[in-house]
Structure 1
Amino acid sequence: MPESFAIRPATRSDGAFLADMVVEAANWRPGSARPRHEVLGSPEHSRYLAGWMRPGDAGFVATSPTGEPIGAAWYRMFPRSDPGFGYLATGVPELIIGVRPIWRAHGVGRALLQRLAAHAASAGYQRLSLSVERGNFAATLYRSEGFAVTQPTSGRDIMVKRLR
């Protein structure tokens, strides 16, 4: 049973782990896992990783007591001409989050969301957006952290959190 974890800023060298977390996020539905190469080979998912730590990127990585990465949350800016799943508007960063299954429901995702939202607010952003597929249990966490559905789309919702 997981006990404790730490959170640190993400670095350029975390790119491979962030790729793992994109795969975790894409494969949230039990019993319907897509192969890693298929998820990462698709432009709609690879956009969250390509050129990681480009200007405007920020994120955090949760680590186990042994220092192993167990979860990550990060945001990127996308142009209107090439939006992500959770694109809301120009100047609104879109967040991505993933947590290893054994560490879910232990506060890791919540701590990562809170840290990333605080960072985005301190960087001057007014809102954060994300996309969640309907039926994903993570939507309950997002709502409890102040995210609200703003743009329902086919099978997924765009959620936004206003930052103070």
Structure 2
Amino acid sequence: MAETWTLRAATQGDGLFLGDMVVEAANWRAGAARPRHEILTHPDHRRYLAGWMRPGDAGVVATVADEPVGAAWYRMLPRTDPGFGYVGTGVPELIIGVRPLWRAHGVGRALLRRLCDQARAEGRARICLSVERGNFAQVFYRSEGFAVTQSGFGRDTMVRSLR
């Protein structure tokens, strides 16, 4: 690819694009795409977007020629409405998505590293995520220091120490 990407902080105005990235993350399996509206209206996915940019939310967006191509963000989800990767109060849960054309070009790794740096700078000790078994991203997360801490039905919760 001739064009290069740049990173910027996510803003409140990025909510719609973050929705696109939730759809990308949920539809990682080739040939098994679920409709956008089905994903975005399901409570399991809606919690990662509802009221975007509330206190505790942070994110990074990758752009090419000012067009977003990927994003990584985290939310502080409450025990009463935990995400797939919830491990405890005060541990932000990471969500990441990259447009297919930009996968395997270092975009996801750069997004993940920048977001982990931000969480560390905010004094966070750990960050967590959930990944479905069979998703190639699990190898990527392991290479970035994440380890499986809980196994659920078809998915694993992974945590990385930020210290």
Q: What band does the TM-score fall into relative to the shorter chain?
A: over 0.9
- Unpaired runs of 5+ residues, structure 1, are none
Within-5 A mapping of 1:30-49? 30-49=30-49
Q: Over aligned residues, Cα RMSD in angstroms?
A: 0.7
Q: Aligned to 2:53, what secondary structure does the other structure show?
A: coil
Q: Deviations over 1:74-123 (max 9, x none)?
A: 00011111100010111100000000000000000000000000000000
Q: TM-score, normalised by structure 1?
A: 0.98
User: Corresponding residue for 2:17?
Assistant: 17
User: Corresponding residue for 2:129?
Assistant: 130
- Matched residue type, 1:36: R
Instruction: Indicate if the aligned counterparts of 1:2 and 1:103 stay in contact, CA closer than 8 A.
Output: no
In the TM superposition, structure 1's runs of 4+ consecutive aligned residues that sit over 4 Å from their partners are none
Q: Give the C-alpha shift of residue 2 in structure 1.
A: 5.5
Q: Aligned to 1:146, what secondary structure does the other structure show?
A: coil
Partner Cα distance (1:2, 1:12) in 2:
30
Q: Aligned to 1:131, what secondary structure does the other structure show?
A: strand
- State the aligned residue count: 163
Within-5 A mapping of 1:100-111? 100-111=99-110
Please tell me whether residue 120 in structure 1 is matched to residue 119 in structure 2.
yes
Identity %: 71
Q: Give the C-alpha shift of residue 3 in structure 1.
A: 3.8
User: Corresponding residue for 1:84?
Assistant: 83
- Unpaired runs of 5+ residues, structure 2, are none
Q: TM-score, normalised by structure 2?
A: 0.98
Instruction: Indicate if the aligned counterparts of 1:58 and 1:75 stay in contact, CA closer than 8 A.
Output: yes
